[in-house]
Chain A
């Protein structure tokens, strides 16, 4: 099993450009999440999904959109990138939100720089 994979690993954008980050998991998990990691701030939840076809806002959703058309994929979109979105983005998935199966499995991350 590959676990959670993310594409691409690195990306440099110019202000105003758009892009989509892809997250895929092969563990048949219902729940998927997108986080951003910034120095000294830990991880913050951007959006999450509790199943195919559903999405919801997390702590810092502004400037991002997501889609979950297939159970195994969770896409994060930036329609008009800004320098404040320079960050490392992590995708995660979990079997459920209830104990004891709520461990989140993380992908390796995508490092995004917006110039």
Chain B
């Protein structure tokens, strides 16, 4: 079975500085990997997904993630944080189908002025 570990439960950055949210996965097969964002009291929104095409995936709002098979990682980055990026971020791994998706515990991103 696959699993995902988000290495930080909380990350705090200053506005305008880079963002790094770390995610490691475990999977016996070639995975699909996703990052979702959840703003307070809202549902989840897809930021980006990796589906075995390019290893560097670009998403919405300036976010991107790089799939590194040798490190079993799929870290999310953004060059410059904005106040509106403050939210909870979930890394998700799927091997066979959507009913087999596994969510990480989440990373709460705080952006300081």
Contacts and interface: CB of A to CB of B under 8 A. Distances in A.
Nearest to B45: A106
A106 B9 contact: no
Contacts, number: 57
B90 A42 contact: yes
A contacts with B: majority SS: loop
Nearest to A35: B103
B103 A43 contact: yes
Nearest to B6: A42
Contacts of B90: 42-43
A4 interface: yes
Contacts of B94: 102
B104 A42 contact: yes
Interface stretch (B36-44, B65-73, B75-83): B36-44
Given A99-B51, A100-B51, A44 B103 contact: yes
